[in-house]
Amino acid sequence: MPHRIIGDFLRFTLAYNPGAAFSMSLGPYSRYIFGAFAVVALVVLWRLYRLSGPAQRAGDRVRILALGLAWGGAAGNLIDRIRSPLGVVDFIDIGVSGWRFWTFNIADSAVTVGAIVLAWSLSREEREEREAREAVAHGSPSAVTERDASPGAPGPDP
């Protein structure tokens, strides 16, 4: 039975999802297959975090936040999947009138927001690096960044 939070727009409705996002199912082994995918995702996200190093720029902090959101959401759903044979508990039910979005949970939101922010952060970093390489190729003296200015780094002679 749905519990109205903000009229009919936002309701809390208990649902168990034995599959993955949007109730994808791989039959009776969905729990184990998606659990294994979650473990692999957690390892990959952890490695990306460890490779990030200390946050020296604002973009680094955004990337680390995105990795944390995605990792936390994936871990939360994995714990739910292990805890209950019924599947992951979903409860956020959004929609208008007869149109309802898929029921989801906070962990799903964290994974989604983390993935979007991570993709945005990585594309921004790649664009900045490409622009810096192009500026160096065109001989722009302002192309030296803080990373390039470290002792022993190649760069223009003073």
In a domain, 73, yes or no: yes
pLDDT at 107: 94
Catalytically annotated residues = 90, 108
User: Mean pLDDT throughout 19-48?
Assistant: 87
CB-neighbour burial class of residue 47 (10 A; exposed 0-12, middle 13-18, buried 19+): exposed
Residue 44 pLDDT exceeds 90: yes
CA dihedral for 39, 79, 107, 24, sign (positive or negative): positive
Q: Determine the structural domain holding residue 53 and report its residue range.
A: 3-118
In a domain, 132, yes or no: no
pLDDT at 25: 77
pLDDT at 140: 61
SS3 25: coil
Residue 54 pLDDT exceeds 80: no
pLDDT at 153: 46
Band of residue 108 on the pLDDT scale cut at 50, 70, 90: very high
In a domain, 18, yes or no: yes
pLDDT at 52: 79
In a domain, 157, yes or no: no
Write down the mean pLDDT value for the chain.
84
Which phi and psi angles does 133 have, rounded to 5°?
-65, -40
In a domain, 84, yes or no: yes
Residue 154 pLDDT exceeds 60: no
In a domain, 152, yes or no: no
Which phi and psi angles does 123 have, rounded to 5°?
-70, -35
Pick from 90, 78, 89: nearest CA to 31: 78
Count of structural domains within the chain: 1
pLDDT at 70: 96
The model's pLDDT over 128-146, given as tens digits with 9 standing for 90+, comes to: 888 888 888 887 655 455 4
More confident residue, 153 or 132: 132
* Cα–Cα distances in angstroms (integers) from residue 19 to residues 5, 69, 77, 113, in the given order: 26, 21, 11, 20
Rounded distance between C-alpha atoms, residue 117 and residue 94, angstroms:
22
In a domain, 125, yes or no: no
**Whole-prediction pTM:** 0.75
In a domain, 133, yes or no: no
Of all residues in the chain, the percent with pLDDT exceeding 90 is: 49
